[in-house]
Amino acid sequence: MSEHLAPYDSPRHRDETAIAGMWLFLASEILLFGGLFLIFVVYSHTRAAGWALGVRHTNLMIGGINTALLLTSSMAYTLGVDAARNENARGVILAGLSAAGLGVTFLCLKGWEWHTELADHLFPGPGFALGGPQAGGAQLFYSFYFLSTALHGLHMLVGIGLIGWICLRTYRGRSAPLIAMPVEVVGLYWSFVDLVWVLLFPVLYLIGRV
Amino acid sequence: MARVLSCWGLLLMLLAVELVLAAVGANWGIGGCAGLMALLIACGFMRMMRAPTLAAIFAIGGLFWLSVLLALGSLDSFTRTNFPVGDTLSSPAPNPRIPPDTAP
């Protein structure tokens, strides 16, 4: 058994290493998104009026619905992690498909939002729709908006791909005992993507709106 | 399951509170709600409290370096007093140390 587990001492050691490895990766992700939040901290302070002008032009309805979708998706996948611990393959697949489906809906809505914003000439650069003395701050806001939502969307795509892989893996190996650790590690990533959005949502849609 | 569902219910409730606070312009309250939601996700969905010690060290390390990044990164623009940061980004502001050009 020890040869099969090498280089780990026990299954518990192996599982804890997998969880710690994912947390180390997430710590690096905290710093990646931290740079974005630094942009928010600095420019929402130094260009407050222009930044708030940008916030007022975002679509709160889509942002709010997307937040609820992502919270529900994260909840669904966490139920899938519980199912994996109980060796319930069907539960894992159902939860995974629900979570991935909600994630795809999130991305579709975000795509629609981007489409309307590009049609309204809210992409920073020549021809930017908002004029006046606060236009510079609003352009900074929209630079932040497009960069942060694109980076988050990229993480969503990776997460949906990982959940798809988990579902496929579980479906193919449904006759064998279910290994819960990959399900749990992907769950950590998916919940982190949700956590980042929970912090981005007020920054992009709420703070400075009124 | 009940723990996950109650955590989800709390998160949706906090989202609703955020929207109400946004309508009245309570920005600090919105920030507090977002922080609470992040904490709920970390503890309820990511099971932070049950994570192995090494994972907790990595998570705390990430937060520590994030606080260093935010503090040092924003130090200049929050403490600068010789000229405002924002006004110089898109339109050149007159530098008080350089006398205005009065040449004909």
Residue B94 reports pLDDT greater than 70: no
Per-residue confidence band for B97, with pLDDT thresholds at 50, 70 and 90: low
Per-residue confidence band for B82, with pLDDT thresholds at 50, 70 and 90: low
Contact between chains at A202 and B34 (C-beta distance less than 8 A): yes
Q: So what's the pLDDT on residue B102?
A: 52
Residue A3 to residues A10, A21, A205, B8, Cα–Cα distance (Å): 10, 22, 54, 42
Would you tell me which residues 41-70 of chain B have a C-beta closer than 8 angstroms to some C-beta of chain A? Answer: 41-42, 44-46, 51-52, 54-56, 58-59, 61-63, 65-66, 69-70
Give me the domain span that covers residue A109.
2-206
Q: So what's the pLDDT on residue B83?
A: 64
Chain A hits for B25, Cβ within 8 Å: 209-210
**Min Cα separation B97/chain A (Å):** 22
A206: which DSSP letter?
Answer: I
| ipTM attached to this prediction | 0.88
Token digits of residue A148: 């942060």
Per-residue confidence band for B9, with pLDDT thresholds at 50, 70 and 90: very high
Q: So what's the pLDDT on residue B98?
A: 52
Contact between chains at A202 and B7 (C-beta distance less than 8 A): no
pLDDT tens for chain A, residues 1 to 210: 455 777 878 888 888 888 899 999 999 999 999 999 999 998 888 888 889 999 999 999 999 999 999 999 999 999 999 999 888 889 999 999 999 999 999 999 999 999 999 999 999 988 888 878 888 889 999 999 999 999 999 999 999 999 999 999 999 887 777 888 889 999 999 999 999 999 999 999 999 888
Q: So what's the pLDDT on residue B84?
A: 60
| Terminal-residue alpha carbon distance, chain A | 63
Contact between chains at A202 and B18 (C-beta distance less than 8 A): yes
- Give every CB contact of residue B45 below 8 A, 6+ residues apart in sequence: A74, A75, A78, A187, A191, A194, B4, B7
Q: So what's the pLDDT on residue A203?
A: 94
Token digits of residue A60: 């709160």
Chain B hits for A207, Cβ within 8 Å: 22, 27, 30-31
Contact between chains at A38 and B31 (C-beta distance less than 8 A): no
Give the number of domains in chain A.
Answer: 1
Q: Is B11 on the interface with A (CB under 8 A)?
A: yes
Would you tell me which residues 73-92 of chain B have a C-beta closer than 8 angstroms to some C-beta of chain A? Answer: 73-74, 77-78, 84-86, 89-91
Residue with tokens 């009065």: B102
Chain A hits for B30, Cβ within 8 Å: 202, 206-207
Token digits of residue A82: 């519980």
Chain A hits for B89, Cβ within 8 Å: 46-47, 136, 140
Mutate to test the interface with B, among A42, A65, A139 (most CBs of B within 10 A): A42
Q: So what's the pLDDT on residue B14?
A: 96
- CATH label of the domain that carries residue A185: 1.20.120.80
Q: So what's the pLDDT on residue B64?
A: 94
Q: Is the pTM of this model over 0.80?
A: yes
A174: which DSSP letter?
Answer: T
Token digits of residue A110: 């975000």
* Percent share of chain B, pLDDT over 70: 77
Contact between chains at B42 and A195 (C-beta distance less than 8 A): yes
Chain B hits for A187, Cβ within 8 Å: 45-46
